[in-house]
Amino acid sequence: MFLEKYRVNTLALAVACAFSSAASSAVSAETVDSKESIEEVNVTVSPLAKPADAVAAPVTVLSGEALRQEAAGTLGQTLNNQLGVANASFGSGVGLPVIRGQSANRVKVLSDNLDVADASNTSSDHAASVEPLLAERIEILRGPAALRYGSGAIGGVVNILDGRIPTEVPEEMEGAVEMRHDTANSQDAGVFRLTGGAGNVAWYLDGVYRDNDDTQIPGLAILEHEEHEEHADESTGEEVHEEELNTDGFVGNTNARAKSASAGLSWVTDTGLVGFSVNRLENNYGIPLGTHEHHHDHEDALHEGEEHALEEEHEEPGEDAVRIDLAQTRYDLKGEHRFNSEYWDKLSVRLGYNDYEHVELDAGEPGTRFTNHAWESRVEMTHDNGGQWRGAYGLQLTDKDFAAVGDEAFIQPSNTQSIGLFTMKERAWGDWHLDLGGRVEQVTVDPEQGETQDFNLLGLSGAIQYFLAEHQHLSFGATHAERAPVAEELFAEGAHLAEARYIEGEEDLNKEKSFNLELGYHHHNQEASGWHAMRVETNLFYNRVTDYIYAANSGEENLDEELPIYGYTNRDAVFYGAEASMRLPFTGGHYVELFGDSVRASFTSDLELHHEEEEGEADHAHEHEELAGYHRAVPRMPPLRVGLAFGGNYDQLNWELRTTRAAAQERAGAFEEETEGYTRMDLTARYSLNLGGTDAVLFASARNLLDEEIRNSTSLLRDFAPEAGRSVEAGIRFQF
C-alpha cells in the first residue's frame, strides 16, 4: 500500500514540477535567425493540416535523424522510448505498440492513414506487416482517435508514413542508402530509397533486407519458478518432474529474415495529384522456445531427472520449433484535389487493398494458415469559411475477409464490414481554440458458422485550448467512443499453442463504451534560444470503459490440450495516468531531459466466466466466484517509468545518454506473473560528414549498458523471452 502511494505521489510531483517550471518560463521568446529555425511539419492524423504543437490531443512525431536512431526490426521496439508507449514483445520477431495500456484491437496501426489490415491484432505472436526502417515519419496519437479512424482506434493511433506515393516532383533524383549491424542478435540490415521525376510525373522505389540470429540475453531465457509441472508416468504411475527446454545466454528460435520492396508513381499538378503504389513484404521469424515446445514430448532432449539448458553455441532447439512465414502484397491509391473556392479547401481520396497471409510452420511443415483479404476506402472534404469555422467531412468503408485454416485454427473464417461517417469542426477566437467532432458507424461481423452480429457505434469529442503564448497552451478534452467486438473475441474456440493458451470467445459480448478526459500543458518553441527553448509536455488522463473486452485468465486448464483457459468477457474498467517530459537546453548545444509516464488500470466490476463448466469443476467455479471480487488489476499493464537524459548537439556530432528506471509491475492481474523492475541505460551518437561529395552519417547505439535482465510486463511471453542484453548497433547512411 505504501509503495502504491509512493508511485502515485512521485509522478504527481514530477507533473507538478513540470507545470511550475513551464509557468516560470512563460515569457515572450526571442526567435533566432531564420536559417537556424526548423521547418514546421503538419501532422496527417488531423485532416485540417495542423502542426503537432497545435493539436489538442497529445501527438508525438518521430522523424528525421531521431527516427533513424530509434528504428528497429519491430514497430513496438522502435516506439518504446516514446511517452506513453510500451512494447508488447513476443521475441525479437514481434513487437506491437501499447499506448497507455491499450493494445491490439484498440490501437490502430496505419500505413499513410489506412489500416495495415494484417493479423497482428488477432494474436500476440503475429507481427505487424510494416517495416520501420523504411518509415519517413511516424505519428503517434495517444488517446482515443476513433472519431476519424473507427472503433479500432479507441485507444490510440500509430501512423507510418513512408512516402511511397510521391506528393511532389523532385527537381533531381534523390535517395539514401543505409547499412547497419546489431550485436544483440547479429542482425545485418540494408535499406535503400530512391525518388525522382520529370514534368508532372514522380516515381519512388525502396527496399529493405534484414537477417538476424537468436537474441543474446544475460542468463537463462525461461524464468525459473519454484513450482514445476508434474505428471504421472503412464508405465509406472509415479509422479515425474517435467523440465522445460531452456537456453542459456540466448533466446532459442528467435532468428529471422525479412525483405520488403515498394514502387510508387504519381501524376502531380498545381491543384492535386493521383498516385499508386505497390508493396511486397516477406518475413520469416521464429517463436521463442518455451511456449509451443512446453507442450510437446522432449524426453530425447532432456537428461533424466535434470534440467537441460542449451549453451551459447546455439545448439539446434529441436524439431518442434515453430516459425511464422509471412507474405503480404499491398496496393494503394491516393488522390487529392485542391479547390479554388472561398469555402471548400481540399478533397482527399484513399483506397487500399491488402492481400495478407502467414503460415505457422511446425517442425518445418506448414500448419495453420491465416489470411486476410481486406480493402479500405476513405473520402474526406475539408473547408474553411474565412476564419470562422474550419472543418472536415469524411466517409470510411472497410471490408475484411479473415480466415484461419489448419490444426490450430482457433478462429473461424469471417467477414467484417463497416461504414462510418464523421465530421470535425474547429474555431479560434482570441487566445481560445475549440475542436468538436462526431461519428456514426455500423459494424457487421459475419462468421462462417453462427449468427451475424451487428453493432451501431457513436463517437463524440470536444476539446478546448487556451494559448498562454504563441508556443504554449493548456488543453482540456472529453471523448466518448465505442468499439465493436472483433471476430476473434466473438468466435474464437481452440488451442493456440504459440501463445500456450486455450482461447474461448463469447458471442454475446457487448460493445465497449469509453469516456475519456484529458488535461494537458504544452510548451515548445524550437525556434527560440536559451531558456526560452525549453520544451515541456504534461498530460493527465482518465478513461472509464464500460464493458471492456479482454481475454480473462480463468485459472483453469483445458484437460485435453493441457493449456490454461482464457475466455473473452465484458468487464467495466478504469484507466488513468500521467505523462511528463521537460527538456532544458544549455549553452554549447547541451541539454538535459526529465521524463516519466504511468498508467494504472483496474476493473470496477466482478468477473463473469462464460466458458462451460466440465464435470467435476463446480469447486473451481466456486473458487472463482470468491476470487472475482478482488482480482481487480487489468493484466499486462506497463510499469511506472521515470528517466533522465543528457545530450549534446554540435556542428557534426550529436550524442545522448539516456537512463530509464522501470518499477516492478506488482499488479499483474489474476493468475498472471509479476515482473521485476529494471534500470536501462542507452548511449547513442551520430556523426555527419561528407565523403567524395556525398553526405553521410555514421551512427552507433550502445543499448542496455548495464546488461539488465528485462522482462516486459506487457508481453504474454515475458517468462520465456526477455529483452536483449548489452549490445551495440552501428551503421552508415549515405544521402544524395
Tens of pLDDT, residue by residue over 267-324, are 999 999 999 999 999 999 998 876 654 444 433 433 344 444 444 445 444 546 889 9
Cα separation, 651 vs 533, whole angstroms: 18
Question: To the nearest whole number, what is the mean pLDDT of the chain?
Answer: 85
Report the 10 Å Cβ neighbour count for 608: 14
Q: What is the CATH number of the domain that holds 197?
A: 2.40.170.20
Q: What is the residue range of 708's domain?
A: 2-735
Q: What pLDDT is stored for residue 588 in this prediction?
A: 85
In tens, the pLDDT along 417-458 reads: 999 999 999 999 999 999 999 999 999 999 998 899 999 999
Nearest by Cα to 197 from 188, 205, 206: 205
Q: What pLDDT is stored for residue 243 in this prediction?
A: 53
Least confident range from 204-208, 584-588, 687-691: namely: 584-588
Residue listed under C-alpha cell 522523424: 63
Nearest by Cα to 17 from 659, 594, 647: 594
Most confident among 115-129, 223-237, 608-622 (mean pLDDT):
115-129
Q: What pLDDT is stored for residue 290 in this prediction?
A: 67
User: Number of H helices and number of E strands within the chain?
Assistant: 6, 38
Q: How many domains does the chain have?
A: 1
pLDDT band at 645 (very low <50, low <70, confident <90, very high): very high
In tens, the pLDDT along 699-729 reads: 999 999 999 999 999 998 888 899 999 999 9
What average pLDDT does range 598-608 have in this prediction?
89
In tens, the pLDDT along 334-383 reads: 999 999 888 899 999 999 999 999 998 887 888 889 999 999 999 999 99
Residue 609 near residue 552, CB atoms below 8 Å = yes
Q: From residue 350, how far is each of 210, 380, 396 by CA, in Å?
A: 30, 9, 10
> What is the chain's length?
736
State the pTM of this model: 0.87
Q: From residue 70, how far is each of 354, 619, 684, 685, 687 by CA, in Å?
A: 27, 51, 10, 12, 16
Q: What pLDDT is stored for residue 1 in this prediction?
A: 40
